[in-house]
Structures are given as C-alpha cells and as structure tokens.
Amino acid sequence: MADLLNLKEWVAVLGQLLMFALAAPMLVAWVKRVKCVLQNRKGPSLLQPYRDLSKLLKKEVRVAHTASPLFRATPYLVFSAVLVAASTVPLLQVHLPTTALADVIVLVGFLALARFFLALAGMDVGTAFGGMGASREMLISALAEPAMLMAIFTLTMSAHSTNLSSVIQHVLDTGLLLRPSLLFALLALLLVAIAETGRIPVDNPATHLELTMVHEAMILEYSGRHLALMEWAAQIKLLLYGVLISNVFFPWGIAETATAPALAIGALAILAKLVTLGMVLAVSETLVAKMRLFRVPAFLNLAFLLGLLGMLSYVILETSL
Amino acid sequence: MNLAQLGLVEQSIFVFAALALLLSFLLLFQGRLTAMVHVFAWQGFLLALLTATVASVEHSHHLFLSAALTLMLKGLMIPWMLHRLIRKLHLERHQERLQHQALVMMAGAGLVIFSYWVVLPIARLELANTRNIVALSLAIVQLGMLLMVARRQVVAQVIGFMSMENGLFLAAVAATYGMPLVVELGIAFDVLVAAILFGVFFFHIRDSIESLDVDQLTQLSEEER
Amino acid sequence: MEALYITLALPVCGALLFALVRDARLASTLNLFISAASFVSTLWLAIQVLSHGSMHSTHFLVDPFNIYLLVLTTLVGMTTAIFSRPYMQHVCAEGRCSIHRMRLYHSMYQAFMFTMLLALSTNNLGVLWVSVEGATLATVLLVSLYRTPEAVEAAWKYFILCGVGIAQALFGTVLLYFAAQHVLSSPEEGLNWMILYQHASSLNPTVMGIAFVFLLVGYGTKVGLVPMHQWLPDAHSEGPTPMSAVLSGLLLNVALYAVVRIKILTDGALVQSPHPQMAGHLLMGFGLISFLVAGLFLHRQRDIKRMFSYSSIEHMGLATFAFGIGGPLATFGALLHMLVHSLTKSAIFVTVGHATHIAGTQRIEQIRGLIRTQPEVGWGLLLGVAAIAGFPPFGLFTSEFLLLTATMQSWPWLTVSLLLGLGIAFAGLFRHLHPMVYGKAPQGQQAVRVNMVPVALHLLLVLWLGLAIPDFLSNWLNLAATLISGKGLL
C-alpha cells in the first residue's frame, strides 16, 4: 500500500493525470487512422485531434442568451470529474495513492457525475436537440450502469476487493487462468464501454445526423474552449475505458514497483495493449453497422446478461465449497 | 477444487461449458430463425470441442467417438436439416419478437441459480473435477424448456428441444465422462429420429392450421368446444 | 433366452416388413400373425421362467416382475391386432385415412411393440430410457394418423410434453450412472440394473435422491401422473382407437414399471439416510393427486375416449400410490392392478372403437342406445365399465380391495380419500355410461361388423383373476413383491 503522505507518490499521480490528458487525443486519432486504412481512405495525421483542440481553445466562446451559469460551469465540471476518475485507474504502475483512496465504485460515481452534468447542460439551453440527446444519454446510461456494476462485481468477487490495485494485483498473482467469469466480465465491460463512450453501434461520434446522435446532440450548443473541454473529456473517457479493460484483464507488464525500468516496461506494455485495443475497436466499428436506438436496450441487456453470467459462473464453477 | 490447480486444458473445459450456457441464453433472445439455427450449431460445435478436450485429458477413446458423433449430428446434420426446412417453409425472414424480454432473462437467470441449488449437494461430494459443470448442463436443459415456453413458433420450439438434448449430453460428459456406448448410440439415434419427425410435423402443422404458431393450436382443451 | 431374442426379433422384422408391404389387407393379416407369434414366444419364455426361475445376462433380464408384463404386452398386442383389422378397414372405407398411411400404421405398430418389449426386458437403464423415448417416436405419427387439426395438435402436444418429460429422466439416468461409477469397479456396468441392485446400499444417497426425483418426473410424464398428464387425454382421444388401447394398456404400464425399477434402487440407497421413505412418499403424493384429479375430470368429459383416458390416469395414479405405500400387500395389489387394469382398459377401448363406429362420433351425447342397436357392443361396454369401476366379481375389485386394506394398515386416514375417489370415479363413469348403453337409439343407427373376441377374452381373464388367481401368477407376483418391497406376502 502506498504511503498517502509520500510526495513522490503524488508526483506519480500527477504524472499519470498528465499522461492521460495528453495521450487521450492520440488514441482517438489512432482508431480513426486504422479505420481509414481499413476503408481504403487516406486518414488524417495522428496529431489532428491536438490541432483541433488547440484551435478550439483559442476560439471565442459563444453562449446562448437563455443559458444559465450551469451551462458555463459544466465543461469544467465534466472535464475535472473525468480527469479525477482517470487518476484512479492504474496506468503504468499498480499502486497509487489515489487508488488507495478511491475504489472502483468511486470511479463509476465520478463518471456518473460527469454524465449527470452533461445531460443537465444539454437540456439547459432549451433547444430540441439538447433535450433529445440528454434523454437518450440517460436511457443508455440507465441500462449500462447496472451492466457495468455487474461486471465489476464479478471482478471484485474473485479478487475479494473493490480496489482496482488489489484486483490487478490479484490477477497478476494468480497468473494466466482461463476463468469463465473473467471472460464474461470482459465481454460485458467491452459492450458497456462501447455504449458509454458513444462508439458504433450505439452512437456515432463522426456524425451530426439529428436522428441518431446522442453525445453530439448534447454538446451542440457549445463552442470555443467549452467545446474543446467537452471533446477532450470524451477522449479521456475513451482512454480511461481502454486502460481499465487492458490493465484489469491483461495486466501483464504493468509496473509493480516504482522503479524507472519497471515504469518504462509498463509504459511500453500499456502502449502495446492500447494499440491493439484501438485496432480491435476500429475493426469492429468497420464491420458493425450502427443500430437503431430502440435496439440499444437489447444490446445493453446482453451486456447485463454477460455480467450476470460472469457472476453466476464464478459462483458455480470457480468457488471451492 | 481450485481452478488454479488445473492445467490450461482443464480450464478450457470450464470456459467451453460457460460459453455453451451463454449460447443457450442467446438462443432465448435470438428472434431470427436462421440465426437461431446458427447459434444452435455453434453450441453443438462447442460441445464436441469440450468432449474432445475431456477425452484428451482422460485418455478416453470412446469419448472421442462421442465427440465426433456430436459434431456430425448436432454441429452439422441437424442444423443443416433445420436450415433446409426453414427454406422449404419460406421462413428465412421470419422474425419473432420475444414478449417480456427482461422477464424472460430474469427467469433464465433464476433457472441457472435453481439448477445450481439442485446440484449443490452433488457438487459438494467432490467426486470429479468437472462436477461443477453438471449445474450448468442442468441450466442448459432448463433454458431449453424456458425457450419452448417463451416462444410461440414451432421451429423455435424444436430448437429449444434440441438444445435441451445438448444440455443432457453435456451432463453426461461432465458428470460421468459419457454414457456407455450402447446408450450413447441409442440416444443419438433417438435424437436423429426426433429431428426427422419434427421436420415431418412442421408440414403437418402448416397443412392443418396454415400457420406455424403454436398459439393457433387450441382445438383441444377441457372447455366445451 | 432364445425365446426372448425371438420375441424381440419378431416385431423388428414386422416393422421392416410392413414398410415394404403395400397391400393394407395383407399387412393387417400379417400384423395379426406376427403379434400372435410374439405372444406364443413370450408364452414359451414364461414357461422357461416357470421351470428355471429368472434369468439375466449382461443386456437382458427376465424375472417375475417383468415376465408377466411381457406376456401381458404381447397378449394385448395380439388382441388389439385382432381388433385393428376390421376397425382400420372401416376407417379406410370412411376415407379418414389413406391406404398408403396404413403402411406407416402397421410398421409403427410393430415398432411400438418392439420398444415396449425392449423396455421391459432390458437390463440396462440407459437402454430403458432409449426404448421409452423410442416408444414416443413410434407412436407420435400414429396419433396424428388422421391428419385432422385436432389430431396434429394432439400429436404435437404428445411429442413436446413427453420429449421434455423424458429429457428429465435422462438427466436422472446420468446422475444414477454418476452415483454408480463411484461404487462399481467397471464403469461400463454402471447402468446394469442387476449389478446396481446388488450394490444398491452403497450408492450415494444424496445423488440417488436427486436422480430419483428427475426420473420420477420423467417417466411419470409417460405414466400420465398429474400434473404432467396433459398430453394423455389428447393423444388417446385423437389417435386411432387401437392406438389408444395399446397406449393405455401398455405404454403407461411400461413407464410405471420403469419408475418402480428405479424406486427399488433408490430405496436400497436411502436405507441409511435420514429419509429412507423419500421415494415412496413422492410416489404416494403424485399417485394420490392423479387418482383424485382424474376422478373429478371424469365428470366433465364430452368425448368418450377422453373420458376413458382420464380413467387410465386415475388407475395409474392408484397403482403409483400403492407402490408408494410399499409393503408386500400394497405392492402385490399394485402389480395385480397393473395387470387387470390394462386387460380391462384395452377391452374397453376396443368396445369404444366399435361404439364410435356405430354412432359415427366420439361425442358422448350422440352415442345412445348401444344395447338396442348392437347388444354385444352394449354389453361389452357395460361389463367393461363395471369391471373398471371395481365391481366385485372382476379382478379390479380384488386389486382395489387389496390396496384399500394395505392403506388401512399403514395410512388409515388416507383410506377415506381413496374411497371418496373411487366413489367419484364410479359416479363419473356411470352417469355417462347409462344413456350410452340404455338410452334411446337415434333413427337409422346401424349395427357394424365387429369382432368381440378380444373383449370377451380380456373380460373373461379379468373375471377369472377376480375369482381365483392361478398359482404360478400369484407366485410371480409374490416374488416381484418381494423384490420391490423386500418382503413376500405369501
């Protein structure tokens, strides 16, 4: 357990936050790039999201005159909530003071907080699209959250802890085990991640088609640095889920001690995992068509079912009586 | 028993069994008949794979035989027959929306727990490594029954019936490393005959009630008619 | 053993032969001959058993418990074949069933006989399951032989419900094999009934208890125990009448036989456990409920075959209840009850078949004045129902009397419900019977060509069993009761 008052540890946390913030646009660019290659197109540069963000940050902010202060505050709230959530997910090393403070339920809570304000802001201005997007987002998250918790409970049951560091340490200690429960939890979490980060087939981040958009509808009224923060938060959220999935289910390579060589290996490992995960995401998005909104509950029901089966198969197959 | 004490091959048996259970759930929710047949075929494949794995762990030649039999019968032949029937009955595009989806899912999860509860005393005996799978196989049997209750379409009901047989086969493999060969062959023969008879029945039902919906089968009851 | 092999081979040859014979008239004659030959060969087998006692090999087992059922099966098979010849010709003449479907009918008739005989004589519980399931498969197309919407629906129900039920029995069989594997040195013998019987006390009681529940539900579906009985009235009422006769007379018996064989093993395994009587109590519960519910349902029937199929459920419930009580007296009574019920019930279905031809319908309110139109059918129905209701000179009176006595000995309070149930069933049968036999015959009701030999034969046998049970039979029943309940009666 890391010492909570150790300054060096907190520096590591800050470093992780910075890495999350800086690497997030890169993952989005990478997915886009792979997709372009798959579709025989010439993709944008990997640095394009950075250019977009810096351009938006420099632009003037325009706010609707019906907007309340909540509307202005939301981008900062959302961004910081997502960032704090990101600080509780081990990136390069297993043990961090933040993971000791906040377990996986807090992580879910921060993400829910961000979503709550996002939905409020969507409705705040009073345009039709904002309200529509908010209601759709709430529908999706209301179904995704139980599924996510189910998957997480499966994980925490086998590790006997809700603390992410302990979970990762447990998986590392037991070595490679073909656990049906973890397989189901992984599949459930993948589906939830797709729904929560607004990727195909649940939502399409690349379109502003009014019939289908969810996330884009909520942030339609934002501009300038507000929009930049919102976009950035969404990118961090994608990275967060990527790191969560790859580090919990495939933790090999992550630094167990805070030494430089270990950290370097950890950095390379997470890079490799994210590159692979990004490719998987791009391939699946290329193969799968976006589904109609009323099919989304079935999709998330499947995620819930997977989580439930994970839990049941843990109890039935893996516990010793 | 602890999973960590087993080798990777043994662990994969558990994964296959768990996946077979997942496929049973997918069967429950799959609305399109052709897709159901595919899922059913995958379940057959998975069972054959599982049986072959158990056979290689236990060095049992007769299990290899039943794995091959399962692959032929449940992985290839019955799905092929069902496919042909679906084409002949022009049901390729038939889609059925399951009523009360969430309720059915909860019932399914309840059945899994129920099966576990039933088999728990046996599992406590610690007689075989694979005994835990018996609960899953009973769950597959019960889910097949649930499918037959929840679906109104005869082809879907037959797939439920056949997936029940899959569950029974899994039970035999997991609990006792297969049944004696005579019995195994007899069961396979019965399943095959049943599949053929079901095919005949589809046409009888369609000819007599001009539909393949069992809700139309309401001629016989204790009420005055 | 040769006699047994011949008995089993005959119906197989018959089934294959009839798949080829196109001439329906020839086929029905041949069907009769093959059934008669089977009967003769089981008689030969019975004589062997009489002289040498029970015999068993790895695959087959013939002991006092199943030999009388084997003879009964081929006897009913033969007499039903006698009845089926003119009956099915009449059906074809009416145009309800085409000539080429008669090929299917005869072939499946023999296939069904084969599965029954195999189920009775096999020593392997797995083969027992396979043949009971085979019996469903053989009869399901016969139930839908007329291809009316009702017949197809009945057959579908029969197929699905029995299929689902019997699947539970297979799960139970797997569990049984599982229990056996940990006791026996050679796993291949794990389903051999004789070997299991010798090792019954060392089988794991927990596993056996669970296995018994699954097996009871599975085979109980075939016995027609309430609440798994839904298929039975439909299949009996919509199928051809010879089929109803053999289903009621044979299939239910064989399924009950399977349950009892399993019960013997379960009782052996549970001796040391906290609930040694678990199997018996379950049987009593299911049996009593079936008996009472079926008795009540008799009253509201409007279809004559449906009514008698409920009567079958009632009697099977009674026999199941008696096997549940255990003890030599009850078991002896139950074994006798199985015998006389199937003789009487198949005689009744034969008579009912003729009666429906006379009236041209199966609806009770349109069958009237049989005794005026054709006295032999009227008398046959009257005597048959008198026998099935348990009137004194007939065998069912004897068996029911034994069962009541046994109940009074061990569960005095339940005697009340048994008497009540018998009374209800009696009233239900006779309120429908009276107008059918004595009522005013409709204008123009014609006599039809009938063959009452099977009915007369069966009812005479039942009468004989009511007056005196021959020594060899009582000896067999006694030995079987010893096997099942552990103690002999005589």
Return the structure tokens found at C123.
């020593």
Helix (H, G, I), strand (E, B) or coil at C363: strand
> Which site among A301, A312, A317 would you substitute to test the B interface, given the most B Cβ atoms closer than 10 Å to its Cβ?
A317
Query: Are chains C and A in contact at 3+ CB pairs closer than 8 Å?
Result: no
Q: In the structure, what pLDDT confidence band is assigned to residue C332 with cuts at 50, 70 and 90?
A: very high
Q: Quick one: closest CA in B to A306, which residue?
A: B22
Question: Based on the structure, what is the number of domains in chain B?
Answer: 1
Mean pLDDT score, C372-392? 91
Average pLDDT, chain A: 89
- What angle in degrees, to the nearest 10, is found between the helix axes of C453-467 and C375-388? 30
Judged by CB atoms closer than 8 Å, whether chains meet at C300 and B209 is answered as no
Residues of A in contact with B17 (CB under 8 A): 180, 317
pLDDT at B222: 65
Closest Cα in chain B, distance from residue A200 (Å)? 21
ipTM of the complex: 0.93
Average pLDDT, chain C: 91
Distance between CA atoms of C61 and C69, rounded to whole angstroms? Answer: 13
Within 8 A by CB and 6+ apart from C309, the residues are C232, C233, C235, C236, C237, C244, C248
Percent of chain C with pLDDT over 90: 67
pLDDT at A320: 63
Distances (CA, A) of C368 to C32, C238, C436, C444, C452: 31, 21, 4, 12, 19
Q: In the structure, what pLDDT confidence band is assigned to residue C296 with cuts at 50, 70 and 90?
A: very high
Nearest to A301 among B4, B19, B102 (CB): B102
Percent of chain A with pLDDT over 90: 56
- Whether B20 and chain A come into contact, CB under 8 Å, resolves to no
Judged by CB atoms closer than 8 Å, whether chains meet at B14 and A178 is answered as yes
Query: Is residue A2 situated within a structural domain?
Result: no
Q: Is residue B190 pLDDT above 70, yes or no?
A: yes
**How close are the terminal C-alpha atoms of chain A, in Å?**
31
Range of the domain at B95: 7-216
Q: Quick one: closest CA in B to A178, which residue?
A: B11
Q: Is residue C64 pLDDT above 70, yes or no?
A: yes
Torsions phi, psi for A174 (to 5 deg): -80, -10
Within 8 A by CB and 6+ apart from C266, the residues are C208, C209, C211, C212, C278, C279
Judged by CB atoms closer than 8 Å, whether chains meet at B180 and C302 is answered as no
Percent of chain A with pLDDT over 70: 98
Q: Is residue A8 pLDDT above 90, yes or no?
A: no
Q: Is residue A229 pLDDT above 70, yes or no?
A: yes
Structure confidence by residue, pLDDT tens digits, B42-77 = 999 999 999 999 999 888 888 899 999 999 999 999
Cis peptide before A201 (omega within 30 of 0): yes
Residues of B in contact with A316 (CB under 8 A): 112, 116, 132, 135-136
Judged by CB atoms closer than 8 Å, whether chains meet at A309 and B3 is answered as no
Burial profile A222-255: b = 16 or more Cβ within 10 angstroms, e = fewer? bbbbbbbbbbbbbbbbbbbbbbbbbbbbbbebbb
Mean pLDDT score, A56-79? 92
Question: Based on the structure, what is the number of domains in chain A?
Answer: 1
pLDDT at C183: 85
Range of the domain at A20: 7-318
Closest Cα in chain A, distance from residue B95 (Å)? 14
Distance between CA atoms of A221 and A73, rounded to whole angstroms? Answer: 14
Structure confidence by residue, pLDDT tens digits, C105-164 = 999 999 999 999 999 999 999 999 999 999 999 999 889 898 888 889 899 999 999 999
Q: Is residue B126 pLDDT above 80, yes or no?
A: no
Nearest to B11 among A178, A312, A320 (CB): A178
Structure confidence by residue, pLDDT tens digits, B203-214 = 888 888 777 777
**Are B82 and B156 spatial neighbours (Cβ–Cβ below 8 Å)?**
no
Structure confidence by residue, pLDDT tens digits, C298-319 = 988 889 999 999 999 999 999 9
A-facing residues of B in 65-104 (CB < 8 A) are 101-102
Q: Is residue C322 pLDDT above 80, yes or no?
A: yes
Q: Is residue B1 pLDDT above 70, yes or no?
A: no
Q: Quick one: closest CA in B to C124, which residue?
A: B183
Percent of chain B with pLDDT over 70: 93
**How close are the terminal C-alpha atoms of chain B, in Å?**
59
Closest Cα in chain B, distance from residue A55 (Å)? 47
Judged by CB atoms closer than 8 Å, whether chains meet at B141 and C167 is answered as yes
- Residue C60 pairs in a beta bridge with C122
Q: Where are the alpha helices (DSSP H) in chain B?
A: 8-29, 33-58, 61-70, 78-88, 101-123, 132-150, 154-176, 181-209
Distance between CA atoms of C131 and B198, rounded to whole angstroms? Answer: 18
Return the structure tokens found at C382.
């009257």
A vs B, Cβ pairs < 8 A, gives 72
Query: Is residue A272 situated within a structural domain?
Result: yes
pLDDT at A2: 46
Closest Cα in chain B, distance from residue A174 (Å)? 7
pLDDT at B143: 95
Closest Cα in chain B, distance from residue C130 (Å)? 6
Residues of A in contact with B29 (CB under 8 A): 298, 301-302
pLDDT at B2: 64
Torsions phi, psi for A93 (to 5 deg): -130, 155
Structure confidence by residue, pLDDT tens digits, C407-457 = 999 999 999 999 999 999 999 999 999 999 998 888 888 888 888 899 999
Judged by CB atoms closer than 8 Å, whether chains meet at C207 and B125 is answered as yes
Query: Is residue A109 situated within a structural domain?
Result: yes
Helix (H, G, I), strand (E, B) or coil at A177: coil
Structure confidence by residue, pLDDT tens digits, C243-268 = 999 998 899 999 999 999 999 999 99
pLDDT at B128: 64
Read off the pTM.
Answer: 0.91
